[in-house]
Amino acid sequence: MRTVHGKFLYEIEKLLKNVERFWKGLRRFALENRTIFEIFFISLYTLEQAALIWFTYVVEKPEDWSFVVSIFALMVLTTFALHKLTMESRIRVLETQVNDLLHEKSSL
């Protein structure tokens, strides 16, 4: 019989394995489909900017505009961070492949 802590740790372990599997799949997808990934992020940035423009027209009180701009900045920075993280991960895989090829070539 498992304790509550044991069940909790087991669930955390399962969650982390699922996150790892998802991240590896996302990394592989970004590696193999760079153009699609870049188009996705460009579209996402465009939608965020369109939302900012729309909200600036919808919000009537000028004192609320700073809140709208703050939320927009938060969204753009988060999107940028995710984009950067994904692209760095992709670059790390490419660097590993290049290093493996160089090592293989030098051993010949």
Q: How far is the CA of 73 from the CAs of 13, 34, 45, 70, 80, in angstroms?
A: 34, 25, 11, 5, 10
Distance CA 57, CA 38 (A): 29
pTM of structure: 0.72
Residue that has been written with the tokens 């969650």 in this structure: 15
Distance CA 4, CA 75 (A): 37
Ramachandran region, residue 48 (left: φ > 0; alpha: ψ -120 to 50; beta: rest): alpha
Cβ–Cβ < 8 Å for 87, 30: yes
For residue range 31-83, list pLDDT tens digits in order: 888 899 899 999 999 999 999 999 888 988 888 888 999 999 999 999 999 99
